[in-house]
Amino acid sequence: MKLSYNGQEKVQADPEKVWSFIKDPQKVASCLPDVQDVQIQDDKNMVATVGVAVGPVRGRFKFNIQLDPQPEQNKMLVRIRGGGLGSAVDLTASADITGQSDQTTLLDWQGEANVSGPAATVGGRVLDAQAKRLITTVFENMGKKMAEPS
């Protein structure tokens, strides 16, 4: 099953603070919902174990997450691969990062995921709603944490 999403998050922080945040795997990992464990591999790679509940499919999924910041193009790329319980997820996402005149930053994001296995068979609407909630929550969490005082 293939899923596509896009959206926009206005962050109450200037672009410099946004870049500092998204280049830090530990800070990015803190924005993932339902995380049970994170192992930082290096400055661009981490492994996250996440609690997943999609319809009757409930359990732990393990994801390899690769961050690819491209400040010269004002873009952040993220690649997530992994799964669990016989299901697999392959997600590619990006965000265009644009500073605004009011010292805020606009994140225009998009993502595309391929899901296979039992998680894909629970039904399009259930999986679609869960995936959209997950992605929206990550960007909302990032926005809140980036807006916090340093």
**Could you list the residue range(s) of the whole structural domain that residue 54 is in?**
2-147
pLDDT of the residue at 70: 94
pLDDT of the residue at 33: 86
pLDDT of the residue at 74: 95
86-115 confidence digits (pLDDT tens): 888 899 999 999 999 999 999 999 988 888
pLDDT of the residue at 39: 96
From 35, 3, 34, 9, select the one nearest 22 (Cα to Cα): 9
Give this prediction's pTM. 0.86
- Residues in the chain predicted with pLDDT less than 70, given as ranges, are 55, 57, 123-125, 150
Contact criterion met (CB below 8 Å) for 45 and 64: yes
What mean pLDDT value characterizes the chain? 88
CATH code at 68? 3.30.530.20
pLDDT of the residue at 87: 85
Residues near 126 by Cβ (< 8 Å), separated by ≥ 6? 54, 55
- Domain total of the chain: 1
What are the start-end ranges of the H helices in 13-123? 15-22, 25-29, 118-121
What CA–CA distances, in Å, run from 16 to 71, 109, 117, 144? 10, 18, 40, 16
pLDDT of the residue at 121: 78
